[in-house]
Every structure is written in C-alpha cells, then in structure tokens.
Structure 1
Amino acid sequence: MHAERVGGHLAGRGARVTVFDPQDFPVSARLDLVYLANEPVRRVLRCADGTVDLDAVTALWWRRPMPPAPYPELTDPAVAAYTAKECESLVTDLWENLPCRQLPARESVFRRAGRKASQLALAAELGFSIPETAITTDPESFLDFRDRHDGRIVTKPLYIPWIDDVGGHLHVNRLCEPVSTRDVAYADGLRFCPVIVQERIPKRLELRVTIVGDRVFTAEIHSQTANRSSLDWRRYDTRVTPYRVHRLPDEIAERCLALTRRLGLAYGAIDLILTPDGRHVFLEINPNAQWLWIEDLTGLPISAAICDFLLEGP
C-alpha cells in the first residue's frame, strides 16, 4: 500500500514509475549489464512494467524488497540456493552503484543504520537522553542490571522481532516485554543469544518522528490510555488510542535530523518517549519503517514529502 500511495503521487505529477520486486528476478525479469571498451556502462532492466534504462533513473526507493527467487524447476535445494544467492549478489551490487538519489539510502548504508547498539551510542553522542541499557549474553550481568533498577526493566530483541517456523509461518512475534519474577528463573538462557535490557521509562506520550530529507513529521501516540499499548504502542489499539500531530521542540527536531544525517539516511522513523517530567528519551530509529497508518490517522503528508524528495533528482 505504501508503494501504491507514493506511486500515485508521482504519476499524478508526470513521473514515470517502475515497480520492480527483486523476487521476480530471474524468473520473470531480466537484467543486462554490459561493459564495452570506450563506451559507457549499459544497465537495463526488463520487467512487467517494461524496459528501463537504469542509468537514466533519477531516483530509487527501497520499499522492503524481497530477495530473488530461483526457478521452480531447480529441484536440487543446493543448486536453487546457489542461483538465488548469485542473483541477490548481482541485484545488490547493481543498486549500490546506480548514480541516482536513493531513499532511505544505498542498501549498505541503511542496513548498517539499523544496528541498534550503534544507534544508541550515536544518539547519546548527539545529546539524546537514552534509557540505561545492557546488551548481554551474561546471566549475571542481566541480574545485576535488574537489581540496579529494582526489577523495573524490559527486554527487546536486538535485530529480528519474530521467529518463523520451518514452514515459514509466523510462530513468535516479540516486541518490548516486561521482565517478570518467573522470567528471572530462566536467566541462564541468555547465554544462547544476546538481548537488549533497558530500564523501564515512565511515559506521558510516545512519539513517532518521521524524517524525509530535511523535513520532520511528528505524531504523538497516547499509548498509556490503553493497557494493550501501554508498554509498546506496536500492540496497536487504534480504537481507543489517540494519535495526533505533535510539535517537537526545535532542539529535539534538530537532533533527530542530525541523527539521520550521521547515519547517511534520507528517511528514518525515530521512536521517542516523552516522560511526565518533559524529557525526550530516544529508543531507536527504523531506517525503512511504515508510515501510512500515521498519515491516515493524523493527516501528516509523509507520502507527498517522499514524492517531493524523489522528484528533486540527483
């Protein structure tokens, strides 16, 4: 839906829009990269939307592309995996080197920008308040941190918030979770996998700050009005949770822009807590997060801003 909304804005302003999912390559899409002596590189994509001279593209927007899928007639799993990896290598390298504006950034940049440990360090360097945090596989360190905060702590996944079962169906979806006395009994399990442990920050509001280029769009989420969303607003309860446009203090808005610039991002969705005593506490930044629900609930013109950014050219 996000791609359709922005694509509609772009088409309405006269832009040619090509939608290509790498999952279609190589089965129903073709790529040609030709290097000849004394001639410019020629890079051409042939897909369902037609033939595209990639060197004439003025802007590229990554909207959660899927990896290439092998031909179904490749029944040997090892051969199928090999061809898929080769296709992924080509596509990744191709986008990285196209001389055009890219949102949220070149793939290597926005993949790196999503690392939460680095985000926290940079946010603190830029002057944000951050929760006291431990990222650990040591049960003793976890227990010491819990004692430091009298048990008022939460845990979060470091990178992937879900676990798929063998069949690819969603098995576990893990967001921000409180730590109960029962959980402490299983602290030894931390040795298997790192986890983010943070002090539990009191909330007046939660803020979703969406950055597009140099523009800042902030929505306030009244997550404390519903038990379901009080710990993590991503447990959506939009029937009872108000979402409104919010005016960030200039200092915080500039800090958010500084964060995206330092990360090399032209787009980013920053999650902040506004505490009862007026502090803005940084939680994380998602370099390729959804925004359509915020736009629909608040009227913030995020899709139009993305369209503007893409049309500005190199």
Structure 2
Amino acid sequence: MSSPHVLVLTGEDDPHADRVRALLAGRGARVTVFNPEDFPVSVRADLAYEAGGLVRRHLLGAGETIDLDALTALWWRRPRRPAPHPEITDPVVAAYTAEECHSLTTGLWESLACRQLPGRESVFRRAGHKPAQLAVAAELGFLVPETVITTEPETFLDFYERHDGRVITKPLHIPWVSGVAGHLTLNRLCEPVSSRDVAYADGLRFCPVIVQERIPKRVELRITIVGRRIFAAEIHSQVANRSALDWRRYDTQVTPYREHRLPDEVAARCLALMDRLDLAYGAVDVILTPDGRHVFLEINPNAQWLWIENMTGQPISQAICDYLYEGQ
C-alpha cells in the first residue's frame, strides 16, 4: 500500500502548516505544499478530458508532477488567490487572467474526491455565515445571546434601550478594513455600544451589524474540534482589562489558559453542530457564565489553533495530522 499523499494549500510563512507537515512527514506521508499565488508563474496546470471522461488533472512545478486524483487528502489551510503573471503589464488583462486562474483552482479543489479539511471550500464558506450559525446552534439546544442583525436604526435603538445599554456590536463577516496597498487601517472585534455610537445610529443604513446582549463571563471557552476529537480550553479573559470584552485582544502574559472539561451534553451539541455544517474542523467560541450556563457565540471553520496548543499542551496539531493521514 502506497503512503498517503496530502496536498496543503497555504501561503508563505505558515507555522501552523509547518508543524503539521513535520508530523505527517514523520509518519511517512508525502506532503506537497501549494501556494496558489505561485500559479501560473512557477506552477502550471494540465487537465485533459476525452469522450470517455477525465484523462488527467496535474499540477506541475519545481520538477514535480502532482496527480490530483491520486491525493488522499487536501488541507485548505490559508491559501491566497493566484497572482497575475508579471509579464502582463495591462492591469485589465492582469486582473482577468488572475480571475481565470482563481476560477480554475477553486473548481479543482471542489471536485476532488479525496478527504478534505476543514471541508470543501463551498461548504466551509457557507458554514462561516454567522446568522445561519446562530439559527442552527439554537435548534441544537445551545443557548445563544439575544441578537439583532440590522440596517434599521430604530431596531438598534429599541434593542439598546431594552437591554439598558448593555449591548455589544461585532462585524457580520470581515473584522478588518484594508487601505492603500492592502495595509490594515481598521481592525474591529467585539465592541461595547457607547452613547456616542447611539448618536450615530443612522449610519447603520449603510452596512449591517450584529448587535447582541452583553453576556456576563466567568471564563471564555475555545473548543477546537478535529474530526470527532474535541479540545476545550478555558480562557480566563476576565482577569485582564485588555481581554475582558474580547479575548482576541490577547494578554497572554496575564490571562491564564487551561484545559477545560466540557459537560457531555455540550460536547454532543458541538459534534452535532459540526455534522449539521458538514465540517471536519472548527473552533467554537462559548461563554461560560458565572451561574454555569454555556452560551454559544460562533464557530470559525478555519481558525488558528497553534497559540492555544502552545499555551495548554493540547495536541491539536497531532489530531489534524491524524485526520489528514487516516481520517481519524
């Protein structure tokens, strides 16, 4: 039996991929890392079909031919889009060719029959839709914050008053705004609503926003799921002012991170959520309240995990390696 062949889609400088790739190589797997930015400059595609159907689907580059139909697993880690060939100087033509390359590669990954993590791109893109996540989580028995998602200022103001101003807002999908040449100009996470925000409520008509009741916290939980394996960690975000509202502001020198034992019914709901969303990997964010309730916030289908592995010792990278190697 030949050894597994895993294709990893990611960009440069990805320590998450590096760690898992080393584990896979240690088990004897063949691992190929493909950065779509290299296509079509240093990597080429070669597909052929005849009357009887598919003949071949190959990627070629650096003296290597990758038979895409012989792959045993594909890991959609964090690839970037293909870049136009530098020999193309016309910006309109460059944009067109880059879009065509993106269309080809996206369709390729989607159609492969091998095991995929976190799932097929169309699946995990859909799974990342926060309004749908809240609906599914509630159907499965999770407690969810009272929420409105709106472009209607009056709806926002009514919600704000009903909760005596103890509400937060967060972006619907993209937490950052890029400026000139892709430089970050704004990074917006979970934010409390101030009286100044209320004064500018009319601005909601330009863009939807998620508004939620502010849930009291004992700790926050990051629950990372790989296949059927669950790694729950406590983030004691309330001990530091910087991380109290949103642990993603990170104060790791002050904030304790520990393993957490999930109640069986919460663990079962997490696995049921993964099944409903058709995901093989996901990171669920939950608040554990002072009175012991588990309140679902969201699931990220392609979240980072290395920092929490380093903080807690949980073998998440090994679980990803195992899933890519053998599907478990």
TM-score, structure 2 as length reference: 0.94
1:57 aligns with 2:71: yes
Distance 1:239 1:257 in 2: 32
CA contact under 8 A between 1:19 and 1:49: conserved in structure 2? no
From 282, 290, 293, the counterpart of 2:296: 282
Which structure has more strand as a fraction of its residues? Answer: 2
Gaps of 5+ in 2: 1-14
Q: CA deviation at 1:22?
A: 0.8
Q: CA deviation at 1:41?
A: 2.9
Distance 2:256 2:205 in 1: 40
Question: What secondary structure is seen at the aligned counterpart in 1 of 2:186?
Answer: strand
1:70 aligns with 2:84: yes
* CA-to-aligned-CA distance 1:93-126 (integer Å, 9 cap, x gap): 0001111000000000000000000000000000
Letter in 2 for 1:158: L
Letter in 2 for 1:90: L
From 151, 168, 186, the counterpart of 2:165: 151
From 131, 150, 154, the counterpart of 1:136: 150
Letter in 1 for 2:263: P
Q: CA deviation at 1:73?
A: 2.2
Distance 1:48 1:199 in 2: 53
The match for 1:291 is 305
From 155, 160, 164, the counterpart of 2:174: 160
Distance 1:88 1:146 in 2: 43
The match for 1:265 is 279
From 25, 39, 62, the counterpart of 1:25: 39
1:178 aligns with 2:192: yes
The match for 2:127 is 113
Distance 1:260 1:93 in 2: 24
Question: What secondary structure is seen at the aligned counterpart in 1 of 2:292?
Answer: coil
Pair 12,146 (structure 1): closer, same or farther in 2 beyond 3 Å: same
Question: What secondary structure is seen at the aligned counterpart in 1 of 2:145?
Answer: coil
Q: CA deviation at 1:36?
A: 2.2
Question: What secondary structure is seen at the aligned counterpart in 2 of 1:63?
Answer: strand
1:4 aligns with 2:18: yes
Gaps of 5+ in 1: none
1:88 aligns with 2:116: no
CA contact under 8 A between 1:100 and 1:313: conserved in structure 2? no
From 247, 251, 255, the counterpart of 1:241: 255
Distance 1:291 1:48 in 2: 30
The match for 1:37 is 51
CA contact under 8 A between 1:115 and 1:159: conserved in structure 2? yes
The match for 2:5 is none
Q: CA deviation at 1:37?
A: 3.2
TM-score, structure 1 as length reference: 0.98
The match for 1:223 is 237
Letter in 1 for 2:132: S
Calculate percent identity across the aligned residue pairs. Answer: 75
Q: CA deviation at 1:213?
A: 0.3
**Aligned-residue CA RMSD (Å):** 1.1
Number of residue-to-residue matches in the alignment: 314
